[in-house]
Chain A
Amino acid sequence: MAGTSFLLYQKRDSWLERWDPRMKIVAVLLFGAALLLTHSLGLKTAQLLLLIVLWGMAKLSWRVLAFTLLSLSIFFASTMIYQSVLTAVPGEDMITWGWISFSSQGAVRGIMMCEQIAGIVLLLALLVRTTSPIVLAEGLEMLLKPLKKWRLPVHEAVMMFSIALRFLPILIEEFDKIRKAQLARGGGFHRKGVSTRFRGVLPMLMPLFVMSIIRAKDLAVAMESRCYQGDEGRTPIRMYRLRANDYAVFSFSIVNLAAIFVW
C-alpha cells in the first residue's frame, strides 16, 4: 500500500541520505521559505521540478510520488476554482469557455498556489523519507539546543516526534487489520451515506486508540528499562560533522532564497 510507506524512511544509500541532518532541516526551511515567498511562476515551477529531480536522486519510488500528488488533487481542483473563478478581481482578463468564464491572472495564482502545496508536501516527504527518525531527531535537537536555556523540553518533544514517526507504519497496518476485521463482520466504512460511514469509523478508532495507549505504556517501560533518562548523559548514536557537501547545499539554499528578490 503506497499510503503506508509515505512517511517511512528506508535505507536506499542515496546521496541525500548522507547529508547532515542539521543542514537538511535548515535547507528544507530555507527552500520552503523561498517556495512560499517567490511571486514568479517560472521560479516556483523550477523549484518544484528541482524537488522532483531530488526525488529521483533519493531513489524514492515514482509510484509513491504519483500517489502523493493524486491524493492532493482535491486541493488542487478546489484551489484552481477558488482562485480563477470565485475570486476573480474585476478588470482581470476574463476568458470564456462555453459556460465557464475564468480570470487568466486568477489561473496563474491558482497554479502557483498548487505548486506551493505540492512543493511543501514533497519537501517534507523528502526530508522524512531520506532521514532515519532517530537521526532526524538528533539533528533537530542539536538545532534547537539554544531553546534549552529557557527550559523548553526540546529533547522530550523531539523524542516524542521521532517515536510517533517510528510507530506510524505500525498504526496504519493495525488500522488496516481492524478495518478488514470489521468488514468481515459486515460493518465498516464502505457503506453508503455519510453518517453511516462516520458511525462505521468509530468502532475502528476505538480499538486503535486503546492499542496505541497500551503500546505507548509498554514502550515507555521498555525505554526506561533500557536506561533512558532524558538527555542526561547521552551520547549521540552517530558522529555529526558538516562536510563540503553540506556547505554546498547550504549555499545553494541561500542563493535560491535570494533569487526571489531578483525575479
Chain B
Amino acid sequence: MIDIRNTTFYYNASQDDEEDAGHKPALSHVSLNISPGEFVAFLGRNGSGKSSLSRLLNGIELPTEGTVSVEGHVTSDKAALPTVRRAVQIVFQNPENQQVGITVGEDIAFGLSNIGWPQRDIANRVAWAINLVGLDADEDRPVTNLSGGEKQKLALAAVLALAPRYLILDEATSMLDPVARRQFVATLHEVRKQYSFTLIYITHHLEEVTDADRWILFQSGRVVTSGTPADLMEDVRLLQDCGLELPYYQTLAGLLRESGIAVPAAINEHELRELLCKSS
C-alpha cells in the first residue's frame, strides 16, 4: 500500500520556514492511500501537482513536511530507497527523454543492470519484456528509429522489466497521435491482464480512465476530492473547475438527462448507443 500522510512539498525548500511563506508549495497537506491492485487516475490542470506527487511516490523528491511510505518503507529513509524505487516505476511524458540505451535491448538492460540483475539472465529478461508489451522490434533495433508510440511501449517494457508493484504513467500518451495513443492504452490493459500491478494513471483525457477504480482530482497542489468515475462524472461543474472535459458522449448523456430522459449515470458509449437506437 502507498500511504501519503499530510504531505507538503516545496521545490527548492529552504531550511527556514519563514522563507517558504513567500512561494507556493507544489503540494500542500495531501493525504491519500492507494491500495494494492487499484487503478487510480490523477486528474487536474497543468501545474496542479500531479507530477510532483508521482515524484514523491518513488523518492525522486522527498516531502518537505509529512511522510510518503510504500509498503511500509518511508521514502525519506535512505536505506529503503532502492526498494521503494524498484517497487514504484514511472513512465514519463516525453518519449525521447527517457531512453538511455542506443538500442532497444540496451535500454531495457539499463534498469536491470542498475538493480544488479544477474548478468546471465539479462538477455532473457529483455526478451520477456519486449514480448510482454508486444513491441515489434528486436533488441538490436536503434531507439532513434522507433516511432513515438513504439518509444513509449519501450519505456513501458523497460520499466516493467524491473517487476514494479506500482506503475505510474505520467501523461505517457500526451505526445502520441490518437491512433498510437489508443494502441498504447490497449497494450497497457493487455499487459495488466497478464501481470498485475497497481496503476496510477495521470492524464487530461478522461476517456482513458473511465474504467478506473478511483479518480483523484487535484487543484493548485491540493487533493480536492476523490471518488469513483461514475460519481464524479455527475459533477460537471467540479470537473470544469479542475480543467477537465468529459468525453462527448458523456456530455450528451448529461444533456439527455436534463431534458428528462432517463440515462443512467455510469453509462459507456456503447450503452448510450443502444439506448438511442432502441428509443428511435
Asked whether, in the complex, the Cβ of A169 is within 8 Å of the Cβ of B140, the reply is no
Chain A, range 175-228, C-beta contacts under 8 Å to B: 214-215, 218-219, 221-228
Chain B residue at smallest Cβ distance from A230: B114
Chain A, range 124-174, C-beta contacts under 8 Å to B: 132-134, 163, 166, 169-170
Asked whether, in the complex, the Cβ of A226 is within 8 Å of the Cβ of B102, the reply is no
Interface: B122 (CB within 8 A):
yes
Please tell me which stretch of A21-29, A44-52, A233-241, A253-261 contacts chain B, meaning at least 4 of its Cβ atoms lie within 8 angstroms of it: A233-241
Interface: B60 (CB within 8 A):
yes
Chain B residues, CB < 8 A from A223? 100, 110
Chain B residues, CB < 8 A from A166? 100-102
Asked whether, in the complex, the Cβ of A224 is within 8 Å of the Cβ of B100, the reply is no
A239/B100 contact (C-beta < 8 A), A11-B140, A221-B55, A225-B89 known: no
| A234-B120 Cα distance, complex, nearest whole Å | 13
Chain A residues, CB < 8 A from B97? 214-215, 218-219, 222
Interface: B119 (CB within 8 A):
yes
User: Within the complex, what minimum Cβ distance (angstroms) separates B2 from chain A?
Assistant: 16
Interface: A73 (CB within 8 A):
no
Taking Cβ atoms with an 8 Å cutoff, the residues of B that contact A are 55, 58, 60, 82, 85-86, 89-90, 92, 94, 96-98, 100-103, 106, 109-120, 122, 140, 142, 144, 158-159, 162
User: Within the complex, what minimum Cβ distance (angstroms) separates A156 from chain B?
Assistant: 14
Report the tally of A-B residue pairs with Cβ distances under 8 A: 94
Taking Cβ atoms with an 8 Å cutoff, the residues of A that contact B are 8-11, 132-134, 163, 166, 169-170, 214-215, 218-219, 221-229, 233-239
A225/B110 contact (C-beta < 8 A), A237-B122, A239-B119 known: no
Chain B residues, CB < 8 A from A215? 96-97
| A165-B82 Cα distance, complex, nearest whole Å | 28
Q: Which residue of the partner chain, among B96, B140, B159, contacts A226 with CB atoms under 8 Å?
A: B159
Asked whether, in the complex, the Cβ of B110 is within 8 Å of the Cβ of A170, the reply is no
User: Within the complex, what minimum Cβ distance (angstroms) separates A135 from chain B?
Assistant: 8
| A106-B249 Cα distance, complex, nearest whole Å | 83
Asked whether, in the complex, the Cβ of B90 is within 8 Å of the Cβ of A225, the reply is yes
Asked whether, in the complex, the Cβ of B103 is within 8 Å of the Cβ of A237, the reply is no
Q: Which residue of the partner chain, among A134, A221, A239, contacts B102 with CB atoms under 8 Å?
A: A134
Asked whether, in the complex, the Cβ of A221 is within 8 Å of the Cβ of B159, the reply is no
Chain A residues, CB < 8 A from B85? 224-227
Chain B residues, CB < 8 A from A238? 119
Chain B residues, CB < 8 A from A133? 102
Asked whether, in the complex, the Cβ of B144 is within 8 Å of the Cβ of A11, the reply is no
User: Within the complex, what minimum Cβ distance (angstroms) separates B92 from chain A?
Assistant: 6
User: Within the complex, what minimum Cβ distance (angstroms) separates B89 from chain A?
Assistant: 7
